[in-house]
Amino acid sequence: MTGMPTPQCRSKIVAVLGRNWHKDLSAAGRQADMIELRLDLVEEVDPIRALQAVRESCPARPIIATARIRSEGGGYAGSEEERIRLLLRAEPYSDYLDIELFAPGSGELLSRASSPVIVSYHDFQGMPDQEEMAEIFSAMKRAGAAIAKIAVTPESLQDNLRILQFLLAAETPLCMIAMGILGRHLRAVAPIYGSALTYGYITDCTAPGQMSLQELCLARELLKK
């Protein structure tokens, strides 16, 4: 058929850097649209020094600084007060801070942050119903999210459809991620339906069902055709 519209993908591919950040930095700078440094996974050096190195190596790439709490799948082992200080120290070297909506220190971080904020929510066990998901999204918007990020674990193909429908209805920037094997393909497909970001690893997978940076780049090229 002629005259059919071609899906337009404006989503940004984010390379996630963690324990092997130094080794993975070159690939992230070449292939990704944005870079996330997981401060909670950086070992052996001060995470801020690692962030500075990422900024110096990839000056043209927007950088997200994240210190994920353990209750939302992260590795940060310090106190919430220490985590707040770490993220505020990261501001001069990053373009976005990722702040969990339900973290104990989220209110203080949101009030003190001057950088644009990605307000995030992660459910590794399942998926909220549509009403609860709408409430979470509304709370993120009220918190001043530049981008809202909702990562859930679908338990059926119908759940995947709910994710895509939720994306289509969103009127402000929203990243939706389907974690786990059942929703893995949405890592590549959700951007077509409006997901603002999609995250890929280089060496170490950092979330269930995550695709690699190389796979996401290939999928984007294939879906353009």
- Residues marked active site are found at 122, 149
Residue 210 to residue 137: CA distance in whole angstroms: 22
Residue 56 has what DSSP assignment?
A: H
Phi, psi (degrees; rounded to nearest 5) at 210: -65, 140
Residue 192 to residue 157: CA distance in whole angstroms: 18
Residue 96 pairs in a beta bridge with 64
Task: Tell me if 35 sits within 8 A of 15, measured CB to CB.
Answer: yes
Beta strands per DSSP E along the chain: 12-17, 34-38, 63-66, 96-100, 117-122, 147-152, 174-178, 197-201, 211-212
CA atoms within a 13 Å half-sphere pointing along the CA-CB vector of 209? 18
Q: Please, what is the angle between helix 157-169 and helix 130-142, to 10°?
A: 40
Residue 121 to residue 11: CA distance in whole angstroms: 19
Residue 118 pairs in a beta bridge with 98, 147
